[in-house]
Amino acid sequence: VPTAIGVDIGGTKVLAVGVDTDAPLAVLAEHRVPTPSGDATKILDAIASATRVVAGALAAAGRPAEVVGMGIPGLVDTSGRLRAAPNLLGLVGVEIPPRLEALIDLPTVVDNDANCALWAEVIVGAGAGARDAVLVTLGTGIGGALVNGGVLRHGRHGFAGEPGHMVVDPSGPECPCGRSGCWERFASGSGLAMLARRAVEAGRSPAILELVGGDVAAVDGEHVVAAARAADPGALAVVDEFAWWLALGIANLVNALDPELVLVGGGLADESDLFLARTREEVGRMALGASARTGTRIEAATLGSRAGAIGAALVAATPRGVGPGVP
Ligand SMILES: [Zn+2]
């Protein structure tokens, strides 16, 4: 499949790209629309409209798309039905491919958004050529994906790769999933903010408190990053604590999967120079037999905000990731 459309569906926007799957980084066409709130019909119409714009541009360029891939932030089962998606409730329960195929008249493949992002990274990004790779995406929560033996793994139901809900502290903060102390409560963007609020409340970071004008509840990850970049010792301590929590979950994944590569993606990947070295050090202390794991690298993902859309196109070109994409 030389030309494919990839669509990344987020809680706030839908990004569609048209790519040559042999050279996917040179995006041929691109369009984005806001994700409407409301029911499935409204959301699917928005997805279809973004897809049609890109399909039209590709056709006009003499490169008509043959297939569409979609990355969705939630649990997608093997039939393409969305089974859980806290930020896309209107689509939960919907079997997406047939509904979209009726609107856009192109074969459609649906997968989890982090799965798509990892597939892009192992084909043309930071993990190019890796056969055993794990992705953790740090955003509001933690998404994840797993490539093992060169194959994107989906598990029995299609739900594999949700490391954000590994419990790392049963007495920790409540998680929207219903349990307490999930990894994403500590090591995501919102986890960073939580750690910062705790530090501010304990009087350990007056610089962050100043940035929010004294309103502790307003502290978010960006304030921590800003204060850390200004070398505030309190903020740097929060970042170190964050790096430790990130390492805790990564060490668990390393123990379970023995990957050659752990990629850290999502919005916080742009700030990874602040914490990734510390995280590598801590994983080196925590993982079983760490000194013998000379082939495990922990790196930042490199494809940025287009990874999900490009990866969705590549997943569609190699359905369910069981294709020849990885050597
Ligand atoms: Zn949870």
Nearest alpha-carbon partner for 311 in 12, 15, 32, 75? 15
Enumerate the β-bridge partners of residue 299. Answer: 263
Q: Mean per-residue pLDDT for 48-61? A: 98
CA of 324 to the centre of ligand 1 (A): 34
pLDDT digits (tens, 9 = 90+) for 80-132: 999 999 889 999 999 999 999 999 999 999 999 999 999 999 999 999 989 99
CA of 220 to the centre of ligand 1 (A): 20
State percent of the chain over pLDDT 70. 97
CA of 178 to the centre of ligand 1 (A): 6
CA of 75 to the centre of ligand 1 (A): 14
Q: Which residues, at least 6 apart from 156, have a Cβ–Cβ distance to it below 8 Å?
A: none
pLDDT-derived band of residue 324, with 50, 70 and 90 as boundaries?
A: very low
pTM metric for this prediction: 0.94
Rounded distance, CA 251 to CA 245, Å? 10
Helix, strand, coil percentages in the chain from 3-state DSSP, rounded to 5? 45, 20, 35
State percent of the chain over pLDDT 90. 92
- Give me the phi and psi of 221, to 5 degrees please: -55, -35
Alpha helices in 109-232 (DSSP H): 113-124, 184-187, 189-201, 206-211, 221-229
CB 76 within 8 A of CB 84: no
CA of 179 to the centre of ligand 1 (A): 6
pLDDT digits (tens, 9 = 90+) for 147-170: 999 999 999 999 999 999 999 999
CA of 182 to the centre of ligand 1 (A): 5
Evaluate if residue 15 carries a pLDDT over 90: yes
What token pair was written down for 127? 């993990």
Burial of 273 (0-12, 13-18, 19+ CB in 10 A): exposed
- Residue 11 pLDDT: 87
Q: Mean per-residue pLDDT for 172-184? A: 95
CA of 185 to the centre of ligand 1 (A): 8
What token pair was written down for 188? 């995501």
Where on the phi/psi map is residue 138: left (φ > 0), alpha (ψ -120 to 50), or beta? beta
pLDDT digits (tens, 9 = 90+) for 255-266: 999 999 999 999
Rounded distance, CA 254 to CA 61, Å? 45
- Residue 87 pLDDT: 85
- Residue 327 pLDDT: 33
CA of 184 to the centre of ligand 1 (A): 7
Q: What is the mean pLDDT of the chain?
A: 94
CA of 262 to the centre of ligand 1 (A): 21
Q: Mean per-residue pLDDT for 272-300? A: 96
CA of 283 to the centre of ligand 1 (A): 22
- Residue 319 pLDDT: 56
Evaluate if residue 325 carries a pLDDT over 50: no
Evaluate if residue 78 carries a pLDDT over 60: yes
CA of 175 to the centre of ligand 1 (A): 5
CA of 257 to the centre of ligand 1 (A): 21
**DSSP β-ladder status, 13-20 and 3-9:** antiparallel
Residue 90 to residues 254, 295, 310: CA-CA distances in angstroms? 35, 43, 24
Residue 185 to residues 174, 179, 203, 224: CA-CA distances in angstroms? 8, 11, 22, 16
- Residue 86 pLDDT: 85
CB 50 within 8 A of CB 39: no
Evaluate if residue 204 carries a pLDDT over 50: yes
pLDDT-derived band of residue 77, with 50, 70 and 90 as boundaries?
A: very high
